[in-house]
Amino acid sequence: MKIGIILPVGRTDKYSYQYKNFNQIIISNLEKFADYLLAVSSSRYIVKEIFENHNKIELLSNKETWFKLINGSEVFSLKVLNDNMNLCKKKIKRID
């Protein structure tokens, strides 16, 4: 691998990120540039289909990568973002 991209992802269900065509343009352009794209979601509220049908993209989105819920709402945490980036850096280093 020559170029790997880490793409931190938040909610994709609102805040204008729900427009799938817009997201597809961004992801397609990143995929054309990179040899590998690792997307990591800090939110459980993502549309996973955005990341499907791309050969170079892997999505990490699970309980370990998400913000914690308090009273039904996700709570922003720099620690979660930092942990996610460290996880991705380790994973991307191992990919050849």
Decide: 42 and 11 in contact? Cβ < 8 Å: no
Tens of pLDDT, residue by residue over 18-77, are 666 667 788 888 888 999 999 999 999 998 888 888 889 999 999 999 999 999 999 999
Instruction: Please indicate whether residue 9 or residue 16 has the higher confidence score (pLDDT).
Output: 9
pLDDT at residue 14, rounded to an integer: 76
| Rounded Cα distance, 19 and 93, in Å | 32
Residue with tokens 């996973």: 48
pTM assigned to the model = 0.85
Q: Is the pLDDT of residue 6 over 70?
A: yes
pLDDT at residue 71, rounded to an integer: 95
Q: Is the pLDDT of residue 1 over 60?
A: no
